[in-house]
Structure 1
Amino acid sequence: MSQKVLIICQNFYPEIGSAANRMKNIYLELEKRGYEITVLTSEPSYPNRNLYKDSIFWQDGGLERNVIRFSTRTRKYNNNIFNRLLLYLEMCFKIVSKINRLDRKYDIVFATTPTIFVGLTGLFAKWKLRCPLILDVRDLWPESLLGVGVFTFKPFISLAYILEKKLYRGAKHIIVNSEGFIPRIVSKGVDRQKISFMPNSLTDEELLAASKEDNSNEGITVIYTGNIGLAQDLEILIEVAERMKDLPIKFKIIGYGFRSKDLKMQIEEKRLHNIEWINAKNRREAVEATGSADIAFVSLVNEDVFDTVLPGKIIDYMCMGKPIVGAISGYAAEVIERANCGYVSRARRSEEIQRYIMELMESEALRKQLGDNGSEYAYRNFRWEENIRVLTKVLEREYEEKSVHVCVESFHQ
């Protein structure tokens, strides 16, 4: 008899971004292994609802057959504390309401953060459905909010820390997508044996597509793909582009998010014609665009909490065999150096980043060597086919423990 798993998440297919892509692949990998999956998630709205009126984002229609969606009236991506709190509370209410109306039993609840409020609905589902909660932690919350300066209201932060600790302790097991999160979670009083590492990964199809990619561009292109929010420091990329505006090199940004408008304005004001801005694309197109570039760029703001993060785009860049230049530090920088697939500027200096790009620009052999190193590392460490086993082992163990408990309970009755 197959296990029935309820996945609770804020972001899911067809949304773009690493969060939705992670949930989509977990869904597909578990279903492939015989699990019966139901996904409880919001209507697609990241980075905005209108984006998903385009049919190009809806290329996997079969994914909708086991998806329960809810919609929110509160505007999603707003930096106003009151509006954000309204959104979180509305999402909680909608998810709890959906859980109350579920007409089937489940063996496992799998809930993902951020936000912590979505994770907390997993605790409600655990109680209501009487089954274990597996918590997927993709960000340290509320530390990340403090890191970008979104919330500084002390009573709210104090409450968030209390809720975070309650959530960690209420989960039967915790899955993290960055090893850098583990010491922080353990410091909250969580048993290390209760935590497993399952990174964002690539499908075998994506890895195969990377091996077939042929770059036919003229000149050198540096690409950035993904979110442009408060945690990403893309001003440094604009500085580098400005310093290199007279060289035969192009910078390409495929971006979306809270700070996109501001970044576009900076590019226009500086009249940087060597930067090409491309609006958000679906994952397949973004991967293809990365494949046609020569160098990939990643950045994070210089805050301690982001030293624990491994951005999903780093794994994507590795998959596509692109040398990486990063304005990053901490765990993400260590992974790039461990894989020997690029250069990092921990000090986040534009002149240092320019020097790295120049080195790569001048040597095709160096670009190929670092790119090959990254793709080999990705194949060894970031394949969903292998990494999903981290989760299935946890699911099987929790299912067996639950079954034993039910049998013992029945025996005593």
Structure 2
Amino acid sequence: MKILVVCQYYYPEPFRITDICETLVKMGHEVTVLTGLPNYPEGRVLDEYRNGKKRHEVIKGVKIIRSYEIGRGSSKIKLFLNYFSFAISASLKALFMKEKFDVVFVNQLSPVVMSIPAIIYKKKKKKKILLYSLDLWPASLAAGGIKENSISYQFFLKVSRWIYSSPDLILVTSSMFKKYFGSTLGIKTEIIRHLPQYAEDLFTTEFNSISDSKDYKYIFVFAGNIGDMQSVETIVKAANELSDYPDIGFYIIGDGSKLEECKIISKSLGLKNVRYYGRLPLSEMPKYYSMADAMLITLKDNKNLSYTLPGKVQSYMAAGKPIIGAINGETRRVIEESNSGLCCAAEDYKGLANIVIEYCNSSEKENMASNSYDYYIENYSKEKFMSILENTLKSLGGIIDV
């Protein structure tokens, strides 16, 4: 089967779509990715992709076509220029693309307009689209502070309704997405199915801890993007509440728009129990997971964000780690349903400090860890995900196994 994948982000940017595409190739399919220029999360296009370089690549059997885009920068204006520069340039490539594909797969993160090139291709070639929604729009805008009565929000509400009504089938990462699609966007719920994310194989591999992992008796690790939505400052403030506990340390791994702010808060509070490791290659992450007694997850206290289930949840569970969360909604439901950790309300740093202490004193640590892994295997395994994805793509592409 020949598959056209449309996603604004791809390797070397740290998104799971790279592993999905490489796995589809291993399964015997021809995969071409229409994507942008790597600039996430740094905000600046990487030097090796500037000035027209590396517009066509083949990496691990995946053909990659890169479209022009403006780096996302650090301002809202630059971010919107980033969104639309890719949507326009990739749409032009899709319009004049000569190669014929059996089906189009959209891996839709933010922004939703990254889906437009797929719709252009569909209308020209009369092929079906499978859209995998990992971020809700325009809910993501509201979560980012855009008021629902603003011109920007209303514009993207109309655009989102058009985009989400264009695919032939929509897969969603969170069970709560389906309600939003029906009630807010008016999308027919019969074309929406739930398919949660998985974790890459390397997270289920045993690794030795790095040498400084014994500096604290209990180590709590956050791994991922450090942006406005993630509310990592909640962890920093909780660490301040626990600064008199010498056995407890917090390790923050990742990069993003709020990293420097978190470092400034740590410095101003004189914290010695928080360490920042910056952005690391995916291949190094299990080493840092292995030193963690539990993993941390936080999000802003926002109704729209509560619909989401961040992909780090699957990674944490695949590694067999308990999860400590200051979080609401779908993620809290999963943690509590799986008995894999402890939760408090989003942005409640005092509550987070309290459940960290509760975890350290708990006799259920090993049970939480085993529950986490068991829940992953039952609900989020890569094998299950790829089987459902492949069969869905074949169905839409009119491919029948003999």
Give your verdict on TM over 0.5: yes
Shift of 1:152: 6.5
**TM-aligned CA deviation for residue 62 of structure 1:** 3.4
Contact kept in structure 1, 2:339 and 2:372, CA below 8 Å: yes
Taking a change above 3 Å as real, the CA distance of residues 53 and 159 of structure 1, as seen in their structure-2 partners, is: closer
Conserved in 2, the CA contact under 8 Å of 1:322 and 1:374?
A: yes
Q: Percent identity?
A: 25
- 8 Å CA contact retained: 2:11, 2:18: yes
**1:38 aligns to what?**
32
Task: Answer whether contact 1:296 1:322 (CA < 8 A) is retained.
Answer: yes
2:237 corresponds to: 239
| One-letter amino acid of the structure 2 residue matched with residue 226 of structure 1 | G
Q: What's the CA shift for 1:61? A: 7.7
Asked whether the equivalents of residues 197 and 390 of structure 1 are also in contact (C-alpha less than 8 Å), the reply is no
RMSD: 2.4
Is 1:361 the equivalent of 2:356? Answer: no
Q: C-alpha distance in 2, partners of 1:213/1:380?
A: 26
Which residue in the other structure is 2:79 paired with? 84
Query: How far off is 1:159 after superposition?
Result: 1.6
Cα shift at 1:139? 0.8
**Distance in 1, Cα, partners of 2:33 & 2:147:** 30
Tell me, what secondary structure is at the counterpart of 1:316? helix
Q: Does structure 2 conserve the Cα–Cα contact (< 8 Å) formed by 1:217 and 1:293?
A: no
Aligned residue for 1:38, secondary structure, equals: strand
Aligned match of 2:261: 262
Q: Which residue does the alignment assign to 1:136?
A: 132
8 Å Cα contact 2:299-2:347 kept in structure 1:
no
Q: Which residue of 2 aligns with 1:271?
A: 270
- 2:279 is paired with a residue of what secondary structure? coil
- Say whether residues 1:110 and 2:105 are aligned partners: yes
1:329-388 Cα offsets, whole Å, 9 max, x none, are: 11100000111000110264333222221122234x522221111011111111111112
Matches within 5 A, 1:1-400: 3-16=1-14, 20-21=15-16, 23-48=17-42, 62-63=59-60, 65-72=62-69, 74-80=70-76, 82-113=77-108, 114-150=110-146, 154-187=150-183, 188-207=185-204, 209-210=205-206, 217-218=214-215, 219-247=217-245, 248-346=247-345, 348-363=347-362, 365-400=363-398
Secondary structure at 1:15 match in 2: coil
Structure 1 position 151, deviation (Å)? 6.5
Would you say the 8 A contact 2:209–2:287 is kept in 1?
A: no
Number of residue pairs matched? 386
User: 5+ unaligned residues in a row in structure 2: which ranges?
Assistant: 49-56
Structure 2 residue identity aligned to 1:225? A
Q: Structure 1's 39 and 253: CA in aligned 2 closer, same or farther, altered over 3 A?
A: same
User: Which letter maps to 2:192?
Assistant: I
- Supply the distance in 2 between the matched residues of 1:205 and 1:249 (Cα, whole angstroms): 27
Amino acid at match of 1:361: C
Q: Which runs of 5+ in 1 are unaligned?
A: 55-59, 403-413
Larger helix proportion of the pair: 1
**Equivalent residues of 2:94, 2:118 under 8 A apart:** no
3-state secondary structure, aligned to 1:227: coil
Report the TM-score when normalising by structure 1: 0.87
Distance (Å, rounded) in 1 between the aligned partners of 2:146 and 2:271:
30
Kept in 1: contact 2:254–2:279 (CA 8 A) = yes
TM-fit CA distance, 1:195 = 1.1
Distance, in Å, in 2 between the alignment partners of 1:85 and 1:93 is 12
Cα contact 2:115–2:163 (8 A) shared by 1: yes
CA separation of 1:64/1:78 partners in 2, compared to 1, >3 Å: closer, same or farther? Answer: farther
- Corresponding residue SS for 1:171: coil
- 1:202 and 1:173 map into 2 onto residues whose CA distance is 23
> Could you tell me how far apart the structure 2 residues matched to 1:205 and 1:251 are?
23
* Aligned counterparts of 2:160 and 2:348: Cα–Cα separation in 1: 35
Residue 281 of structure 1 aligns to a residue in which SS? coil
TM-score, scaled relative to structure 2: 0.89
What are the Cα deviations for residues 254-286 of structure 1, in whole angstroms up to 9, with x where unaligned? 121111111111111111111111110011212
Shift of the 67–29 alpha-carbon distance from structure 1 to 2, 3 Å rule, reads same
Change (3 A) 1:347 1:299: closer
**Deviates most, 24-33 or 123-132:** 24-33
Asked whether the 8 Å contact 2:43–2:73 carries over to 1, the reply is: no
